[in-house]
Each structure stands twice: as C-alpha cells, then as structure tokens.
Amino acid sequence: MTDGFERSRRFPRRYRLLVVVLLAIGLSERFAGPFTVDAVGGTVAAAVNGVVDRLGGQPDAGEIHLSFDDGPSLEATPQILDILAKYDATAVFFPVGTQVDGGQAQLRRAVAEGHRIGNHTWNHDSLRGISALDFRSTVGRTQNAILNATGVAPTCLRPPGGRVDENARALAAAAGMSVELWTVDPEDWKRPGRAAIESGVVDQVESGAVVLLHDGGGDREQTVEALDGILDTLSDRGYRFTAMPGC
C-alpha cells in the first residue's frame, strides 16, 4: 500500500499549499498529546491523505507516450532510464541495428524496467519504395539483433524520418509489426537547447500524444536535461506516461 509520503511526492504543486494549511491545523489539534516522531509521521500522513481524498486525488489528464530513437548510447540511454524511473514512466525505445551490439546492456536494462523495444531499421534506412528483399535486410536483420540481445522481438516499427508507404506497411504487417509514427516532435536532434526542447513538448501535448525524442545519433545532453523538466511539468498537470499501444 502506498503511504502518505509517497502519495505526496506525486501530488501536483498547486495543491501543496493546501497540504501545508491542513498540516498546521492537524498539528495544532494533535499535539495536545505527546510530541513524538511516530506522532508527527502519523499526522503528516493523515493530513496528506486527507487532502488527496478531499480533492479526489491527482487529476487524470490522460496518457502520453514517450519514444526514443537512434540509440542506444552508453551516455544518454542510462540517464534517460534513470529519469523515466523517477517518474514511473514507461517508454518505447527504437534502436538502430548498428547500435545494438554495443548497447546490449542498455537494452536489457530497458526491458527489465518495463520499457518496450521497437525497430528503427539497421542503419536509419528509408522504407519508402523498399523491396521485400531490402526490407528483410534492414528490418529483419535489426529484428534478429534485438531478439538476440534482449530475448524480445519488437512488434512495432518506426520508419526513420517517417519515410514509409503502403508497400512498406504491408511488408511490416506481414512480419507481424505495426508502423508507429509520432504526433509531437521538438526536433531535439537539432540540439536547439534544453528550453526549446522542453517547451516544444509541454506546449504541444494532449492526451494520447506520441512524443519523439532521441537517445542516440549524436550528443543528446540537451535531451537528457530537458526530459526531467518535461516529465515534472506534465506530471503536475496530471498526465501518465505509458508505452504506445502498438508496441
């Protein structure tokens, strides 16, 4: 069972002042009796839980689906996984096949922590106009590499650059994979700065949004820096972070 302290950690900022007020009332009433650590802890937990109950709990604004392309990387991916864990967020990682061998530990950790793994082709290859043979070469090869590294076969495919056509969709379907694009793109791969990446997400999202970010393909320090602020802001708005249904 979640205790009052844990519930308060996820509580929106706009309600925290009310917690303080109720704590003051509760403490003034409670401590006609002995002032002990247990008594203080019990009073704090009761006051926090009371605020949650009176306000109906944290408002549920819906789900947002985070995704990370072009990894894994030894630098960014572990930091991103740490931040996701902090906010109890589940994401989908779309690695390119050329990165899989060097990033097996990062992919295995992602799977162990409940994240999903998709397929992003072998070397960021366009799927538009692709032949069946070339599809097997780039997508099938990546599929095998991920399966060997993690024991998991991806069920979703993200076309690099969104370059896909009906033929590629049919080839993906025949391979048991859905094609997954995105609805929010802050273009973090351009490295526009932490603030631009953060606002590029929080100013555009709505329930059901699929956010495109990157954990590989270059220096992703700005993405890592922006991610904590993105999740903090959207958590306070009542959003939950889940894997997109197709994956």
CB atoms within 10 A of CB 59: 12
Mean pLDDT over 28-52 rounds to: 43
pLDDT of res. 71: 98
pLDDT of res. 54: 39
Where residue 50 falls among pLDDT bands split at 50, 70, 90? very low
Q: Is the pLDDT of residue 161 over 60?
A: yes
What's the pLDDT tens digit per position in 70-113? 999 999 999 999 999 999 999 999 999 999 999 999 999 999 99
Chain position carrying tokens 């995704």: 67
Per-domain residue ranges of the chain:
4-54, 63-241
Map residue 165 onto helix, strand or coil: coil
CATH of 63-241, one of 3.30.720.210, 3.10.310.10, 3.20.20.370, 3.30.70.1430: 3.20.20.370
Catalytic residues: 69, 214
pLDDT of res. 32: 47
pLDDT of res. 5: 36
pLDDT of res. 47: 41
CB contact at 8 A, 216 and 73: yes
pLDDT of res. 59: 75
**DSSP category for residue 188:** G
When the pLDDT of each residue in the chain is averaged and rounded to a whole number, the result is 85
Residues 6+ apart with CB under 8 A from 45: 3, 4, 5
CB contact at 8 A, 236 and 61: no
Q: Is the pLDDT of residue 43 over 70?
A: no
Distance CA 10, CA 51 (A): 13
Which tokens is 94 given?
A: 């779309």
What's the pLDDT tens digit per position in 203-234? 999 999 999 999 999 999 999 999 999 999 99
Distance CA 172, CA 156 (A): 8
Where residue 58 falls among pLDDT bands split at 50, 70, 90? low
Q: Is the pLDDT of residue 19 over 90?
A: no
Of 22-26, 29-33, 187-191, where does mean pLDDT reach its minimum?
Answer: 22-26
